[in-house]
Amino acid sequence: MTVKALQTLTTGRNGVGAFILQCKKMDIHYCDWAGSSKGMNGFIKSILPKFAAANPQIEFVVSPRPSKHPVVIGHYINGREKAICVRNLEPLQILKKVELLRDASGEKLRKVNKPVQSVNESVRGVWSPYHGNGMAV
């Protein structure tokens, strides 16, 4: 009886065929009164219209949060979310943070040691003792 490998479904390889941005939604919170939101207010007024037009895959929700520091919260398709406090930052600095959230995968941050990562179990397949020429003991 030959050993058969378990039949697996195709795994998604994002970007091989179509690319789906992992960030699906961004909450943008600001305060009308507080000075720490000055940069954020400027960002919403001047930079957000262009950024939102350039990234139609992402839903942007702008709402005030009185007496709180400004925050950008990114929601990802894996169900996770990332929040960045942008208090006292300039509009262009906030743009950097928003780009970071857009480009993030939503996964937890992990240390990457290997230069190559793969989702394949093995290129050569599963090893079997009953196959091949066998080994002389």
Between 61 and 126, CB nearer to other proteins: 61
Q: How far is the CB of 80 from other proteins (least distance, A)?
A: 18
User: What mask, x for binding other proteins by CB under 8 A, covers residues 62 to 101?
Assistant: xxxxx-----------------------------------
Contact indicator for 107, 78 with CB cutoff of 8 Å: yes
Contact indicator for 37, 30 with CB cutoff of 8 Å: yes
CB proximity list for 91: less than 8 A, separation 6 or greater = 39, 40, 42, 43, 46, 47
CB atoms within 10 A of CB 48: 20
Contact indicator for 96, 104 with CB cutoff of 8 Å: no
Map the footprint of other proteins across residues 7-36, applying CB under 8 A: 30, 32
Amino acid of residue 58: I
Site for other proteins (CB under 8 A): how many residues?
A: 21
Between 14 and 57, CB nearer to other proteins: 57
Q: How far is the CB of 53 from other proteins (least distance, A)?
A: 6
Between 12 and 64, CB nearer to other proteins: 64
Distance of alpha carbon 17 from alpha carbon 28, whole angstroms: 31
Interface residues toward other proteins, by CB under 8 A: 30, 32, 41, 44-45, 48-49, 52-53, 55-66
